[in-house]
Structure 1
């Protein structure tokens, strides 16, 4: 299902994949985020996604033009996880609402691992 914006000129439909790309790009700008991993771990292994596949680490659900987002991230070792997660949530929420005019109701952060960023 896509997000829909209705105005006096017609309807605008925004695909979930577009919202996932916006969310991943906004999150990458936050300090302490190393990258994204796949939506589910297989046998406890976590794989860092390449830049072109970052949106695979973002799950987007849209219900009644309300957006629910789940991010699967890898955090930089030595940073405070709660602070990094709060920064990601605030940045992603602001960016999606500004770019799409859809209301973000919930953002969940799943920390899949930590990594030393060289």
Structure 2
């Protein structure tokens, strides 16, 4: 399903993959985030996604103009998880609403792991 915006000139449809890319790009810029995670359905292991595939760590659901986003993240060791998660939520909400014009109803953060990260 895709997001829909209705205006005077017609309808605008925004695919969920576009929303996932916006969300993942804005989340990856947050301090304390090592990367996006992806849980394998076969063996249950969490994989750190490479930059070109980070949108796989985001699930987007659109139900009757309600936009729900779920992010699977790996946090940097030594940072406070709640602070990093709050920063991610605020940044993703702002970016998605700014770029798409859709109202974000809910953002869930699933911490898949903690890693030591050297930049």
Q: TM-score, normalised by structure 1?
A: 0.95
8 Å contact from structure 1 (residues 39, 56) kept in 2: no
Query: How far, CA to CA, are the matches of 2:44 and 2:116 in structure 1?
Result: 18
Q: Name 1:65's counterpart in structure 2.
A: 65
8 Å contact from structure 2 (residues 37, 49) kept in 1: yes
Matches within 5 A, 1:37-52: 37-39=37-39, 43-52=43-52
8 Å contact from structure 2 (residues 72, 110) kept in 1: yes
Query: How far, CA to CA, are the matches of 1:55 and 1:31 in structure 2?
Result: 18
**SS of the counterpart of 2:48?**
coil
Query: How far, CA to CA, are the matches of 2:13 and 2:39 in structure 1?
Result: 25
Task: Structure 2: state its 5+ residue gaps.
Answer: none
Measured after TM superposition, the shift of residue 65 of structure 1 is 1.8
Q: Does 1:16 align with 2:7?
A: no
Query: How far, CA to CA, are the matches of 2:55 and 2:32 in structure 1?
Result: 18
Query: How far, CA to CA, are the matches of 1:41 and 1:79 in structure 2?
Result: 28
| 1:61-117 deviations in Å (ceiling 9; x for gaps) | 001122100000000000000000000000000110111110100000000000000
Query: How far, CA to CA, are the matches of 2:67 and 2:86 in structure 1?
Result: 18
Q: Name 1:29's counterpart in structure 2.
A: 29
Q: TM-score, normalised by structure 2?
A: 0.95
RMSD: 1.2
Aligned residues: 118
Task: Structure 1: state its 5+ residue gaps.
Answer: none
